[in-house]
Chains A and B, each alone.
Chain A
Amino acid sequence: MAESEKPKIGIFSLTGCGGDQLMILNMEPVLLELLSRFDIKDFQEGSSYKEEGELDIALVEGSVSTKTDLERLKEIRERSKMLIAIGDCAISGCVQAMRNGQMSMAERMKKVYGVDEDYYDVLEPKGLSSYVKVDLEIPGCPIEKDEILHAITSLLHGDMPEGIDYPVCVECKLNGYPCVLVEKGMPCLGPLITAGCNARCPGLGLDCIGCRGPIPEEANVAAEVKVLLEKGYDEKYIFNRLRFFGGNFEDVQNLTKKFSEKTEKEEEE
C-alpha cells in the first residue's frame, strides 16, 4: 500500500501512566506488521517524530484532569475523523476519579499537597466523552493487547469494532475458574466489571478489583454492595473498593452519597 493511502493515525496521552501506549509497543509479534498499515503522525512513546494535520484515527489514553488536557483533547478531536478512547483513564478517569462526586478538587489539593492554590489548573478527572464525541472506547488498565489488535484490525477491515458489555463472570465460567466470590467469599467485583481480561485475576485465585471499570448502564452496584455486606465486609471498605476504578460511575457516586449521609446521621445521633 502506498504511504499516502494508509490511514493516518495519532496516538496521544493525557493524564495517566502511559501504560496503554506501552501495551501497543508490547505487541511485539505483530507490532511491525501492524504499524506498517498506518501512516503514524504522532506516537510519543514510540517515536519523537510528530506531524500536524488531519488524522483518520486518534487513539487517546489518559484522563482529562487539567485545562491543558482539555485543550489538547479538543485539538485532537478537531483534527481526527475518529476518536478512540483507550484505557480506563480515557473512559472514566480511572483511579484519578476515585473521589469524584465526593470531594471537591480544592479539598483534594489541600489533602494531598497541603496547599490552597491550584498550581495545575486542575479539573475533576473525567473521561474524554465528558467533553467531546468519542467514537469508540476500549477499556482496560491497561488495555488488553488482543482487544486493541482486534479493534484496529476491524477498523482496517472497515468495521466498527464490537465492544464487550458482559461481566468478568462470563469469562470465569468459559474458563471454568472456580468462583472466588461464591466459594471463598472474596470481595470480587467481577459481576460488575467489563470483561475482556479473560478473567486473569480470578484465574489465579484472586478477586477482581475492577480495573476494567463497571459496565456502563448495566452494572448492578447496589446488588454488589448488598452481597459484600452479607459476606461481612464493612461499608467503608466496600465503597473504597468500588471507587478505586469506579469513582466516576454514577451508581457508585449515588450509593456512596447515601452511605456517607447515613454515617453522618449515625454520628450525629
Chain B
Amino acid sequence: MVKDNVLAPTPAKILKSENMTEIEKHIELEILDKEIAKNFVYKPGQFVEVGVMGVGEAPISICAARKKEDLLELCVRKVGRVTNAIHRLNVGDILWIRGPYGNGFPMEKMEGSDLLLVAGGLGIAPLRGVLQYALSNREKYGTITIMYGIRCYTAMLWRDEFLHLFYEGDKINVEFYLSYEDSSDRQCYELQCERSDRCMQGVVTRLFGLKEVEPENTYAVICGPPIMYKFVIQELMKRNFDPKKIYMTLERRMKCGVGKCGHCIIGSGKNIKYVCKDGPVFTYWDALNTKGMI
C-alpha cells in the first residue's frame, strides 16, 4: 500500500450490495486498511473515486453521513464501463477507492436555518447524506423540506426510508414531497390520492406549488440531472432566494479527483473552476460567475 501517492487507491470490501432499482445498487464498503480508514473523514456532498482494477475508476458521491470510521455508503447507477463492473461484483469482493474528494456541503454554515432539499432521480444520493447529517444533529436545523422527483415508483431510491418520511416525517419536522413523471404509474397515483398535499404528478418543480418556501431563513440544496438545475433555480429566484444560499452539486468527468487531469474544468477565462476540487458543490452565485456551470 502506497500512502503518499494520490493516484493509489485503497482496497475496500463490499459488505452489502442491494439492488434498489434495476439500475441502482446501494453498496456498503469497509475500508480494509484501518489506518487509512481513520483518516477517511468525509462530509455530505463529497465523492470518492471508485475503481475496479482492469476497468478503471468513476467518481461516485457518498450517499450517507459518516457513522463509523471504516464504513462508506455509495449508490451506484449502472451507466458506464466502471459502474457496470461494480454491479457485477458481490458481497465480499473488493473495490479500490480513493478520496474523499471535493468540498462537500457546508453543513456548519447552514446551521440555524431551514433546509430545502430538491432532488431529481439519482440526485437524491448526495442529499441523503445531507439529510442524515441534519437528522443526527437535529437541533441545529429548522424544518427540513425534501422535494424528490422520480420517474416512477420502481425508480424511487431508498423507497422504504423515504416512504417512511413521507408518512411520518412531520413528527420530526421533516416535510417530504414527491413528484413522479410517469402519469400511468399506479403506485405513485395511490400515494397522491392518500396525500394530495405531498405528492403530485409531473416534474419536481411542480412541488413548489404545494409548499410555501421561506427564502429568508432557508438554504436550498439541489442535485439532479443537469437539465433540472435551471428550472429549480427559476422557482427559487421567483421566490427571491439569495443566490449564495442555493447550493448545488455538479456532475462532470472527474477522472483524477485532485485537480490535475483537467476533465472537469468549466468556466471562462475570467473564472476557471475544477469541479473536483473547487466543487462539486457550488452556489448559484458561483454559477452566475462561471460560464457553462449549469
A→B interface (CB under 8 Å): 157-160, 162
The residues of B that contact A158 with a CB separation of less than 8 Å are 85, 88
Nearest CB of A to B226, in Å:
22
Nearest CB of B to A146, in Å:
16
**Which 9 pairs across A and B sit closest by C-beta, in order of nearness?**
A159-B81, A159-B55, A157-B54, A158-B88, A159-B85, A160-B81, A162-B81, A158-B85, A159-B84
Q: Give B56-93 as 1s and 0s: 1 = Cβ < 8 Å from A's Cβ atoms.
A: 00000000000000000000000001001100100000
User: A-B contact count, CB below 8 Å?
Assistant: 12
- Are A157 and B55 in contact, with the CB atoms below 8 A? yes
Q: Bound complex: CA of A185 vs CA of B260, how far in Å?
A: 35
B→A interface (CB under 8 Å): 54-55, 81, 84-85, 88
Q: Bound complex: CA of A159 vs CA of B85, how far in Å?
A: 7
Among A157, A159, A160, the one with the most B-chain Cβ atoms within 10 Å of its Cβ is A159
Q: Which residue of B lies closest to A161 (CB)?
A: B81
Q: Bound complex: CA of A162 vs CA of B55, how far in Å?
A: 10
Consensus secondary structure, chain B interface: helix
The residues of B that contact A160 with a CB separation of less than 8 Å are 81, 84
Nearest CB of B to A122, in Å:
39
Nearest CB of A to B232, in Å:
33
Nearest CB of A to B270, in Å:
29
The residues of A that contact B85 with a CB separation of less than 8 Å are 158-159
The residues of A that contact B54 with a CB separation of less than 8 Å are 157, 159
Q: Bound complex: CA of A157 vs CA of B84, how far in Å?
A: 12
Q: Which residue of B lies closest to A162 (CB)?
A: B81
Extra contacts, 9 of them, besides A158-B85, A159-B85, A160-B84 (Cβ < 8 A), are A157-B54, A157-B55, A158-B88, A159-B54, A159-B55, A159-B81, A159-B84, A160-B81, A162-B81
Nearest CB of A to B86, in Å:
11
Q: Which residue of B lies closest to A160 (CB)?
A: B81
Q: Bound complex: CA of A257 vs CA of B66, how far in Å?
A: 64
The residues of A that contact B55 with a CB separation of less than 8 Å are 157, 159
Nearest CB of A to B261, in Å:
16
Q: Which residue of A lies closest to B53 (CB)?
A: A157
Q: Which residue of A lies closest to B55 (CB)?
A: A159
Q: Bound complex: CA of A225 vs CA of B84, how far in Å?
A: 41
A-B contact pairs, 12 of them (CB 8 A): A157-B54, A157-B55, A158-B85, A158-B88, A159-B54, A159-B55, A159-B81, A159-B84, A159-B85, A160-B81, A160-B84, A162-B81
Nearest CB of B to A139, in Å:
19
The residues of B that contact A157 with a CB separation of less than 8 Å are 54-55
Q: Bound complex: CA of A157 vs CA of B52, how far in Å?
A: 11
Q: Which residue of A lies closest to B82 (CB)?
A: A159
Q: Bound complex: CA of A157 vs CA of B82, how far in Å?
A: 12
Q: Bound complex: CA of A157 vs CA of B54, how far in Å?
A: 8
Q: Which residue of B lies closest to A158 (CB)?
A: B88
Q: Bound complex: CA of A256 vs CA of B54, how far in Å?
A: 44
Nearest CB of A to B279, in Å:
26
The residues of B that contact A162 with a CB separation of less than 8 Å are 81
Nearest CB of B to A82, in Å:
14
Q: Bound complex: CA of A33 vs CA of B37, how far in Å?
A: 40
Q: Bound complex: CA of A162 vs CA of B82, how far in Å?
A: 11
The residues of A that contact B81 with a CB separation of less than 8 Å are 159-160, 162
Q: Bound complex: CA of A160 vs CA of B56, how far in Å?
A: 12
The residues of B that contact A159 with a CB separation of less than 8 Å are 54-55, 81, 84-85
Q: Bound complex: CA of A160 vs CA of B81, how far in Å?
A: 7
Q: Bound complex: CA of A160 vs CA of B82, how far in Å?
A: 10
